[in-house]
Amino acid sequence: MDYSEDSDNDLYRRFAAGDRKGYTLLVERHTDKFYGLAWRMSGHNQDAEDIVQDAFIKIWQRPELFNPDKGVKFTTWFYRVVVNLSLDKMRKKKPKSASDFLESIQDDAQGADDDLADKQKQAAIELAIQSLPERQKVALNLCFYEGVSNAEAAEIMEVGVKALESLLMRAKKNLKDHLLRDDQIKEVVHG
């Protein structure tokens, strides 16, 4: 049976009723997206893999945790799961340095074409973003990099839209202040 046209919530419904293909298709559709968020939250390849794996184990073990009939999109709910697992993991780890981020970026084959200066700049940006307060970082990652709307990001974070927008504004101000201290990218920020 072809489920490829089914919505995520329909797939989840099938999975919760014992149809494993529903689960497999959700993995197929969304692994890249959830890994991206987990990486942006943790800044570390292995941590991001562990977070996504833990999130999928959670729904496999307890599919009743999400009710697809309550009007919430599966991805909205699962983003929340990934964010919460990421925050739990990060709280247990010591803060990373720019060289940690550089190593993580260099480990990934996708970045092989960028030169070292670009990677160093990316590591500096990563360090600045990772130094943001938790909620500002979550808001920035969801709205700027995951492409979710402000309304959905607010739903994921369980705050109002105004509060979300305020978090974004503060995140950008903090980032600008932080990045202005970096000689390599100060010129770019000033324009």
Partner 1 sequence: MDNDNSDDPNLDALLAQRYSPAAPKGLKAALKTIPERVPAKISLWQDVLNIYREIFAAPLPAMAVAASLVLGVWCGLEAEMLLEIADQDVTSVFIDIENISEEWL
Q: Which of 11, 22, 23, 75 binds partner 1 (CB under 8 A)?
A: 23
Give the residue with the Cβ less far from partner 1, 118 or 134: 118
Q: Which stretch binds partner 1 (CB under 8 A): 1-9, 44-52, 68-76, 87-95?
A: 44-52
Instruction: Please count the other Cβ atoms lying within 10 Å of the Cβ belonging to residue 156.
Output: 27
Instruction: Please count the other Cβ atoms lying within 10 Å of the Cβ belonging to residue 190.
Output: 7
Q: Which secondary-structure segment (H or E) carries 76?
A: helix 74-91
Q: Which of 82, 83, 132, 143 binds partner 1 (CB under 8 A)?
A: 143
- Cβ at position 45, least distance to partner 1 in Å: 7
Tokens of 116: 């070292």
Instruction: Please count the other Cβ atoms lying within 10 Å of the Cβ belonging to residue 56.
Output: 19
- HSE (side-chain half, CA atoms, 13 Å) at 6: 21
Is the backbone of residue 17 left (phi > 0), alpha (psi -120 to 50) or beta? alpha
DSSP assignment letter at 54: H
Judged by CB under 8 A, does residue 52 bind partner 1? Answer: yes
Is the backbone of residue 185 left (phi > 0), alpha (psi -120 to 50) or beta? alpha
Q: Which stretch binds partner 1 (CB under 8 A): 5-13, 76-84, 89-97, 105-113?
A: 105-113
Binding mask 160-189 for partner 1 (x = CB under 8 A): -----x--x---x--xx--x-----x--xx
Chain residues binding partner 1 by CB under 8 A are: 17-18, 20, 23-24, 27-28, 31-32, 35-36, 39-40, 45, 48-49, 52-53, 56-57, 60-64, 101, 105, 108, 110-111, 118-119, 121-123, 125-126, 129, 143-145, 147-151, 165, 168, 172, 175-176, 179, 185, 188-191
